[in-house]
Amino acid sequence: MKRSYLIQRLGSQIQIARTLDVAPSSVHAWKEELPDSAVGRIARLRPDLLRAWWAEQEQGATADEVAPAQTDRGEA
């Protein structure tokens, strides 16, 4: 799972830290690819985020890739 995905879903690194009950400095120190310990916390504390991420991976599209197609069809 990617840190940018969590920021997109939760809004900020501070909110990620609060959600996962870790220090904001820990979230800041993560590389783009989350460490296994963080993914484990997500699985325990917010399994909905993990399921949503896996669903997007299976579809091969992220929210950023889907949004422009919706706009092109005139949908907002």
pLDDT in tens, 1-14: 999 999 999 999 99
Cα 57 to Cα 71: distance, rounded to the nearest angstrom:
22
**What is the per-residue pLDDT for 8?**
93
Choice between 35 and 59, residue whose per-residue pLDDT is larger: 35
Three-state SS string over 55-76 comes to: HHHHHCCCHHHHHHHHHHCCCC
What domains appear along the chain, each with residue ranges and CATH number?
A: 3-70 (1.10.260.40)
Question: pTM of the predicted model, to two decimals?
Answer: 0.69
**What is the per-residue pLDDT for 69?**
38
Residue 10 φ then ψ, to 5°: -105, -15
